[in-house]
Structure 1
Amino acid sequence: MNKKKIIRWMKILLLVYCIIGIAIYGLQDYIMFRPVAVDKSHKYDFRIPYREVNLPYSSNVNINVIQFTTTDSVPKGVVLYFHGNRRNISWYARNAPVFTRTGYEVWMLDYPGFGKSTGTFTEAKLYEWALLLYKLARASYKPDSIVLYGRSMGSGIAAQLGAIRDCRKLILETPYYDFPSILSSRIPIYPMERMIKFKIPTWQYLQEVTAPVSIFHGTSDGVIPYRNASRLKPFLKSKDEFITIEDGSHNDLPGFPLYQQKMDSLLRN
């Protein structure tokens, strides 16, 4: 291959590299977030008791919260559940019995553009709304009765809240080091730290959390690789836990006996 052909191929490769990079930057919100909105008149058909609360964040912004209740006459506490990047509360409601059967209420909110919640979806708004949910919980519960639970994308949001507010426990399911690192693990040839607008640095927030922390992650997670979550281990306190679910993937951890046993222990103590 002569020099001219080499140069021509280098130009083609550079052009392809730039096109893909521009596409990643421009489509990053679509790549990372898959919300499903529903009409405000939509009636959820959950199989467990619940209350629906709509918080008027501003004149044209609504925060939709579903409060799953327990059959206990006096709830042991409340779990503030921050869900993942897909669909809306209806997709995650199936996980509520994990908590309600041990005497906890479970409060889930939908992020802007998810479910019945409206508004502009930004990292700052995720933190603001999480804090608002915490303040709502504090009207009925003391900090030692509040458990923060983050699932996938919600794990970084829960960690940020745990860094600025007291709670009984912080539990993270399939968490990540930070957002750019997730895409970097798939496409390492791009400077994702500069390209990705959402950062949500879980590793940074964990350093400020004083409550006990428990992390669940599966070795076969194809969405957030196990090695990515393992980078959080150096930021855990001596009594914190990193619980490895062998062969667990991104969406099936609650089905494993180890997860069920550990969760029952965490919520009953």
Structure 2
Amino acid sequence: MISMEKTKVLKYVKKIAIWAIGLYFAAGVILYFVQNKLIFHPEVLPVNYQYKFDIPFQELLIPVNKKVKLSAVLFKANRPRGMVLYFHGNSSNINRYAKAAPDFTQHGYDVLMMDYREFGKSTGRLTEAAMYEDALLMYKVARSRFAPWQIVIYGKSLGTGIAAHLASVRDCRRLLLETPYYSLEDVASQAAPIYPYSLMLDFNLPTYEYLPAVTAPVTIFHGTEDETVPYASGKKLQELLKKDDEFVTIPDGGHNNLRDYPLYRRKLDSVMAL
């Protein structure tokens, strides 16, 4: 009798284990195929869409090749002394992030804000290599107007990896990162540490690989209550900073509200005034 009971239990446990393994692999397959929808949330705009902003601006359509064009907006400062290359987050398009432009134009910096491929009016297929390529093109536009020491590279959220890569291969005045990640693999691992993301992710954006090669001064902003990119992921970048670089912790700051905190504004104003 005892032997039969043990056999039943073992069969039950085996069945549960098979189901669990099956669910694990099924969920992993689904995760692999929907990963881009989980990472990117673009909002496409019609080609005839007219931007409306409260500060002077110029819309740019920058050709990459015969098939791909990048949509960008140049926010204009009064008598500009430099340019900020602004790489935005993973949602919507330029409309969502334009509110940040006055933070820089008030200090005499034009702001060039680009939509990634598949965002806004930009065309072409979005890949990690394409993001780096397009960032280099934005830098080329900036260099047609300003010297490297007049160019500030700014990345927010998703854009921090792109900004860090650009600053690692091109000279600039300063690199500013808002709510950065160690890598997308690190963010995914902290959210659900049960899959081999290094083998699954089409996008990794390893910020940690690029920061050591950045010779310009670096300032990082991260809130302790970030619900999208864990503070712990951004904090790991601090050990890669140079002696005079700065990691600014915003107590209670979330992912999209750092501009509401006086500490963020004071620090940003101080570095932009340099």
- TM-score norm. by structure 1 comes to 0.98
Which one of the candidate residues 56, 61, 70 is aligned to 1:63?
70
Give the match for residue 192 of structure 2: 187
One-letter code aligned to 1:11: I
| Structure 1 unpaired stretches of 5+ | none
Percent identity of paired positions between Structure 1 and Structure 2:
46
Q: Secondary structure at the match of 2:213?
A: coil
Do 1:181 and 1:193's aligned partners in 2 also have CA atoms closer than 8 Å? no
Distance (Å, rounded) in 1 between the aligned partners of 2:239 and 2:175: 16
Q: Say whether residues 1:10 and 2:25 are aligned partners.
A: no
Give the match for residue 50 of structure 2: 43
Displacement after TM superposition at 1:233 (Å): 1.1
Give the match for residue 238 of structure 1: 243
Which one of the candidate residues 129, 139, 146 is aligned to 1:141?
146
Distance (Å, rounded) in 2 between the aligned partners of 1:182 and 1:24: 15
Do 1:146 and 1:169's aligned partners in 2 also have CA atoms closer than 8 Å? yes
Give the match for residue 20 of structure 1: 27
Give the match for residue 33 of structure 1: 40
1:1-269 equivalence runs, <5 A: 2-70=9-77, 72=78, 74-269=79-274
Displacement after TM superposition at 1:65 (Å): 1.1
One-letter code aligned to 2:108: G
CA distances 1:189-218 after superposition (whole Å, capped 9, x unpaired): 111111111111100000100000000000
Distance (Å, rounded) in 2 between the aligned partners of 1:94 and 1:168: 23
One-letter code aligned to 1:137: A
Q: Which has the larger radius of gyration?
A: 2
Distance (Å, rounded) in 2 between the aligned partners of 1:146 and 1:56: 22
RMSD of aligned residue pairs (Cα, Å): 0.8
One-letter code aligned to 1:184: S
Count of matched residue pairs: 267
